[in-house]
Each structure stands twice: as C-alpha cells, then as structure tokens.
Structure 1
Amino acid sequence: MRTFVLETGFGLDNLVLRERETPMPGPGQVLLEMRTASLNYRDLVVVAGGHGRAVRPPLVPLSDGVGIVVETGPGVRDLAVGDRVAPAFYQHWQGGAPPDDLEAGRLGGPLDGVLASHCVFPESGLVRVAEGLSNAEAATLPCAGVTAWSALSEPWPLRPGESVLIQGTGGVALMALALARRAGARTIVTTSSPIKAARLAGLGADLVIDRNATPDWARAVREATGGRGCERVLELGGAATLNESVKAVRTGGTILLIGNVTGSMAELFLPLVLTRRITLHSVSCGSRQAFQALMDALAAGGIRPVVDRVFPFEEAHEAFRTLEKGEHFGNICLSLSQDPSR
C-alpha cells in the first residue's frame, strides 16, 4: 500500500510518501481500498504541529475520506465486500453525549488518518455512502459535512423562517448554506471577494456580504434583519471575527463556535454577551449518529457538496498549499486510487 506519513516531524517537508505492507482486518474490522480524501483547515494545523501534544509523528494525516470494502474480519455483520463507506471523524463516539476521552478518537491525529491507499477501520466507525454522491463529494462529509450538520442541529434544530449567518466559502460553510436553505431559513453569507460573492448568490444565498467592500459587516447583517440580528451565527473565523459575530447575533441568539482560522486567542467584550443573553456553543464535528443523519438527509437528494478541485495522490503537498492560500471555493480533495477512472 501507499501512504503519506509525517515520519520524523511536522511540516510539509516531513510529509513523505512511503510503501507499507497492506494491513489485515482483525475481529470486527474491515479493510478499505480508499478512493478519495478531502482536506480541512484542521489538517493544516495538524501538519504544522499545532494540534496539541497528543498528536505526534509518525502520523498519517487527513480525517475525511471514502473507500470500498475489500476484506472483512471475523464478526463483521453489517458490511460486505463492495460496500462504499466513509469513516466517522470520531471513531469511538457513536451518539449521545461525547465521551470523556473525545480527543483520543479523532482521525488524522492522534489516530492515523486516510491519506493512504488502504486503511483498516472498525465496522462501528463507518457509515455507508448515499447513492448519487461521487467519491469526492462523499469524501467531504465526515468532518466538514458533519460539522455543518451539527451547527444547524445544536443546541436545537434550525427552524423555518430563522436567519442564519454563515462565514466563508469553505466546505463547512457551503454545506451549511445548502442545509439551511432546505430547512427554510434565511441565509446570509460573508465572503472576501466579489467573485466568490457571485458564486454564493448562484447557490441561493439570500444575502451575500463582501467583507472587503463592507468592513462593518455586522451592521449590514443587523440592517438586513430589521435591526434584530440573526438567530444563529456560524462563527468560522475565530479571533478576528468573534466580536463582530456578537454584534450580528440577535438578543437571545446563538453563536456556534466552529473555526479559528484567524487566530485562537480572542478578546471578547463580555457585557454584550451577558446582557443580551447570547449563547456561545462550540461545535467539534459530531458523532457517528450525526454522520448517519446527515447521510440520510443527502440520500433524499437535492444537496451536493461543493468540490473545488481534486488533486492526484502524488500531489498531496500541492493540495495542502492550495488550501493554505484560501482561494478555493468549497472542498479540496485528493484522489487516492491509482486508477484515474475510480
């Protein structure tokens, strides 16, 4: 099998392609021949060595992918050779409240991820892929897709007629836009360029705000909502955008803390949060149960993940560099199969 591994340290210079013996599935496990992987901002942080002391080399990166079952171990009951499946981001969180050791079960750090031609997973950590989705589309779902699903389902489901503010044009943002529209919500999306703004409008966003043209975008959000603000804000930016999100959310509304692209240390003006009864709710992907719920929703049709570009397996370094530039629209993927037709 072929795999990219952070072998002796962090950084793209230490991400090397290696040939390894193909693993064998044990009891309750299956062997996947991987087809496609998808990159997330988190993967940049992992490769750079910024995801905590528990994530150490040697490590196979990336959490999001899709593959075909090619062998099953003893005791596997629900999956068979030929099934197309995707691994859950948290391999040990089936549903309900998150386990105390939540961080220990994450693919792509500290657990080995999917940037390989073959992977072994427990049957309990996999979800069948809905018909009609391409391999690249399905590969975007375990982390990015489930994060969007959770952000619109927690701490309670988004309701028809509510306004939701979504930041950016990455995989989480665009899946959230599609899901929010299906739920009957009014969607407001911020972006950084007129080209991306036009594409967002084409995807059905009710209002698109170019942050460069409108620096005080929180005021624009409030004006567009009759001075109230949005019921729900998907805060994907981090330190540089959090205070504006507080201004953009309505009294009694909820800010879903998802990303930290612009920084991890934020100064927050607490009186605006306290006196307006704003809820800050963190979202860290979701359980396998949430993944299954998302897959069931996509099986109904009408929603397809947005894939910006699919790189060949050998161009993993270029895929990471492209993601880091931030010029993409949607998800950046890697083909893991040596057969380009797959």
Structure 2
Amino acid sequence: MKAIRVAAPGGLDRLSIDEIDTPRDPAPGEIRVQLKASSLNFHDYGVVSGAMKTEDGRIPMSDGAGVVEAVGDGVEFAPGDHVVSTFFPQWFDGPARIGDFSTTPGDGVDGYAREMVTAPATAFTRAPEGWSHEEAATITTAGLTAWRALIVDGGLKAGDDVLILGTGGVSIWALQIARAMGARVFATSSSDDKRAKLEEMGAAGTVNYRDDTGWGSTIREMTGGRGVDHVVEVGGPATLDQSIDAARIGGHLSLIGVLTGRGGEVPTAKLMAKQQRLQGLIVGSRTMQQDMVRAMERTGIRPVIDRSFPLTEIPDAFAHEESGKHFGKICLSI
C-alpha cells in the first residue's frame, strides 16, 4: 500500500510516496481502518518542514478518518463504521497527562498519511453521523482544540464574548462552536476579504490587525469597554499583549498556538492587574472528542473546508497552507 514519508531533516521537497506493507490483521482490542482523509495543521507543517525534529522516514499527519475494515475481539466498533483518530491515543479521560508529542501520530509515532492502519480501537472515536471523511478528519486536532479551549477549559456560556485570531482551522472552529453556544464572536485578520467572510459567518466585529496595531483596545471597545470573556490565542508572543488588552478583567485566555514564535515576553504585570487566567493547552482527551462528536450532531455544525488535495499532492497542500491564503481547513483525500 502507499504511504507518505518525510526524510530528515525535513522539507516539502523531502516528502516521498513509498510502498509499505499492508498492516496485519487486528489483535484483540484493535481495529484495521481503511483511511480516507486527513487534514493539515500547523503542527504537521512543523514536522514535514523540518521545524520540528522527527525520525527519518516518519509517516506524517496527526489527523485520520476512514472506515473500519476489520476488528479484533472486544472492541466497540464493527466493520463499516466511520471513525476518526485521536491526537493522544493513550489519553482517554481526566486531566492532561502528556506534555510532549512522543505518542502523537505523525510526530512521535507514524501518522495517517497512508492508505490503511491497524491500531488500538481506543485510538479512534466514531465520526459524526453523515459527515464526509474530510469533514471528520478536521476534528482530531483543530476541532478538539477549539472545543476544549471554549467548552472544557473555558466553560463558555450563552451571552459570553469570544475573540478569535485569524482564519485558520482552530479559529474558524472556535467561531462556529461559540456561535452555536449563543456567544458573540469578534475576530482579527490581515485580509479584508477574510474579514467579510467572518462577518458572513456571524462575527459581531472584525479588525485588520495590520492596519490597527492596537487592535486589543479596539476589540475591547466593541464590547462596550468590558472586554471579551475568552480569547482563543493562536498567535503566541507577538499577539499576547493585545489579547490581554482585549480581554475583560478575570477573562480566560487559551494559549494554543506559536504562529509568531516559540518564546517571548509575557506582560506579567498587565496579566496580574487584570486578574486573567492564561492557560496553555494541547488538543484533548478521547472522552472530550466523544463529547464533541455528539455536540456536532446535535448542533448541526459542519467544518469549513478551504480545499482538498489528493494524498499524492501533499507537498502542494502544505505549500497552500504556507501561503496563508486558506480560510478554514485544508484536507487530504486518501
């Protein structure tokens, strides 16, 4: 069967299509999945580009969705079930227990840029009923990150105000979840065309952060001077100061991304004075994902997919992500 591998030290020109062995029959507690789709995340880009060190010949991609082909004894799935992978296959429930990517598919272990995989059944959950495989694949990383930030950690409720940064997968997912929960959403973008799309999706206010370098205060004024209750902070060191300005006293900031760098100054005095909660997080547990799947079926939310590429065109897919032109998720069809 076909699989994508990345040769160390990484780079889009070092992705290759290889023939590998078909996975073995599932043992008790395992399933074999015919993979149909994946979706791109900034983390995956870090692996394939070489920004994050990984093993030579690693099969990338943390997100995988497909159809159960065979099952071992004692599993909850049956052949023909549609399933989607989990980011931390060994984190089932409870508080976070993993502080690195050593068990994450596509990074510490081989991922889902291949046609088939045999894995523990607990490494997957069922996919939302009626969703395409590309839609389901967006849950593993981006969807669950937004869900945990707002619902699990943030305790989002109707009437809250939420700030999202940009129009990547996590941010668009957060917009949709917040709107479905009855929250008001504000957003930043450097593209006026993307701002118009955000407003079409229900954003109450948007700011072009290149034109308005003090966008934090602008967002706060849009809330009547109170500030937002939640910030989905995907930028990192270069945006955190403005995010603190945008949030209310006692607000919750979910530190998710490092798009502007892996280290930088934290304005501790301002954070302390505003008595805000700054919480780092990486995706979530299997139970969180199961809760999210049920919620998606009840709310009718469907993810926004910018474009889908065949698996064999994976370098082009990452080049599209690298360009920053996408709105929502970029997918791979397997």
Query: Per the shorter chain, which TM-score range?
Result: over 0.9
Aligned to 1:207: 205
Aligned to 1:44: 45
Q: Tell me by how many angstroms 1:8 deviates.
A: 4.4
Secondary structure in structure 1 of the residue aligned to 2:231: strand
1:26 correspondence with 2:27: yes
Residue 101 of structure 2 is aligned to residue 103 of structure 1: yes
Q: Please, which moves more after superposition, 6-15 or 305-314?
A: 6-15
CA drift at 1:264: 1.2
Residue 21 of structure 1 aligns to a residue whose secondary structure is coil
- Per the alignment, residue 178 of structure 2 pairs with 180
Aligned 1:235-246 pairs, distance under 5 A: 235-246=233-244
Alignment check: 8 A CA contact 1:87 1:121 kept: no
Structure-1 separation of matches of 2:45 and 2:8: 17
* CA–CA distance in structure 1, aligned partners of residues 128 and 203 of structure 2: 25
How far off is 1:58 after superposition?
A: 2.4
CA distance in 2: counterparts of 1:298 and 1:184, whole angstroms:
15
**How far did residue 246 of structure 1 move?**
1.2
Task: Tell me the alpha carbon deviations over residues 75-133 of structure 1, each in whole angstroms, 9 at most, x when there is no partner.
Answer: 24311111110111110000101225653321211011110011122111111111121
Residue number in structure 1 paired with 2:16: 16
Tell me the C-alpha RMSD between the 2 structures.
1.4
SS in 2 for 1:120: strand
In 1, the alpha carbon distance for the partners of 2:253 and 2:21 equals: 46
Does the Cα contact within 8 Å between 1:174 and 1:330 map onto a contact in 2?
A: yes
Determine if contact 1:93/1:102 at 8 Å carries over to the other structure.
no
Q: Which residue of 1 aligns with 2:68?
A: 69
- Identical aligned pairs, as a percentage? 39
Secondary structure of the corresponding residue to residue 17 of structure 2: strand
Answer yes or no: is the 8 Å Cα contact 1:242–1:266 preserved in 2: no
Q: Deviations over 1:259-300 (max 9, x none)?
A: 011111121221101122111101200001111111001111
- Cα distance change on mapping 1:268 and 1:77 into 2, 3 Å: closer
User: Match of 2:50, as an amino acid?
Assistant: G
Aligned partner of 2:78: which letter? A
Q: Indicate whether 1:5 and 2:5 are aligned.
A: yes
Q: Secondary structure at the match of 1:90?
A: coil
Q: Give the secondary-structure state (helix, strand or coil) at the position aligned to 1:297.
A: helix
| Equivalent position to 2:320, from 319, 322, 330 | 322
Residue identity matched to 2:69: V
Match for 1:131 among 104, 129, 132?
A: 129
Q: In structure 2, how many angstroms separate the alpha carbons of the residues matched to 1:9 and 1:211?
A: 34
SS of the equivalent of 1:286 reads coil
Question: Aligned to 1:149, what secondary structure does the other structure show?
Answer: helix
The change in CA–CA distance for 1:8 and 1:26 in structure 2 (over 3 A counts) is farther
The counterpart of 2:264, out of the listed 263, 266, 290, is 266
Q: CA deviation digits over 1:134-166, x for unaligned, max 9?
A: 111111111010001001024341011111101
SS at the partner of 2:113? coil
Partner SS state of residue 102, structure 2: helix
Partner SS for 1:300: helix
1:340 maps to what in 2? Answer: none
Contact kept, 8 Å, 1:11 with 1:48, in 2: the verdict is yes
Counterpart CA distance in 2 for 1:323 and 1:267 is: 27
Q: Deviations over 1:22-48 (max 9, x none)?
A: 111233111111111100011111123
Query: 1:15: how far off?
Result: 1.4
Q: Secondary structure at the match of 1:159?
A: coil
Q: Does 1:300 align with 2:288?
A: no
Contact 2:154 2:252 in 1 (8 A): no
Deviation at 1:7, TM superposition (A): 3.6
CA distance in 1, matches of 2:31, 2:181: 35
User: Which residue of the other structure, out of 305, 309, 312, is the alignment partner of 1:311?
Assistant: 309
Q: In the alignment, does 2:199 pair up with 1:198?
A: no
CA contact (8 A) 1:222 1:248 kept: yes
Contact 2:30–2:75 at 8 Å: present in 1 too? no
Give distance in 1, aligned partners of 2:182 and 2:74.
Answer: 40
Note if contact 1:36-1:66 (Cα within 8 Å) is conserved in structure 2.
yes
DSSP 3-state at the match of 1:160: coil
- The code of the aligned residue for 1:197 comes to R
Retained in 2: the 8 A contact 1:237–1:259? Answer: yes
Aligned pairs, number: 333
The code of the aligned residue for 2:63 comes to D
Equivalent-residue separation in structure 1 for 2:9 and 2:78 (angstroms) = 37
Q: Which structure 1 segments of 5+ residues have no match?
A: 337-342
Cα distance between partner residues in 1 of 2:315 and 2:321? 10
Contact 1:152 / 1:158 at 8 angstroms: preserved in 2?
yes
Is contact 2:28-2:75 (8 Å) kept?
A: no
Secondary structure of 1:33's partner? Answer: strand
Supply the AA of the counterpart residue of 2:330.
I
